[in-house]
Structure 1
Amino acid sequence: MIAPVVVFVIGLGLLGWGFFRQRKRDVMDATPTLTCAEIAAGAQPVTCEVKGAATPGPRGAVRAPFSGHECVWYRAKVTVRYEHHEYRDGKRHTTTRERTVHDDTCPVPFGVQDGTGQILVLHEGASLDGASQSVERYEPAGQNVNLFGLNLRVNFSNVKGHRYQEWIVPPGQPMYVLGAAGVQDRQLTMRRPDGSPFIISAISEEQLSKRLRIEMYIGYIGGGVVIAGGLIWLAIKALHG
Structure 2
Amino acid sequence: MAAVTQVLRSEWTKIRSVQSTVWTLGVAVVVTIGLGILICVLARNEFDSMSVRDRLTFDPTNISFAGMGLGQLAMIVFGVLVVSNEYSTGMIRTSLAAVPQRTMFLFSKLLVATALVFLVGLATSFATFFAGQAVLGEHRAYLGDPGVLRAVFGGGLYMMLIALFSMGVAAMLRSPMLSLGILMPFFFLISNILGNVSATRKIGRYLPDQAGQKVMQVVTPLDEKVPYGPWGGIGIMVAWTAAALACGFVLFKKRDA
TM-score range, shorter chain: under 0.3
Q: State the TM-score, normalized to the length of structure 1.
A: 0.27
Higher helix share: 2
Flag the structure with larger Rg: 1
Higher strand share: 1
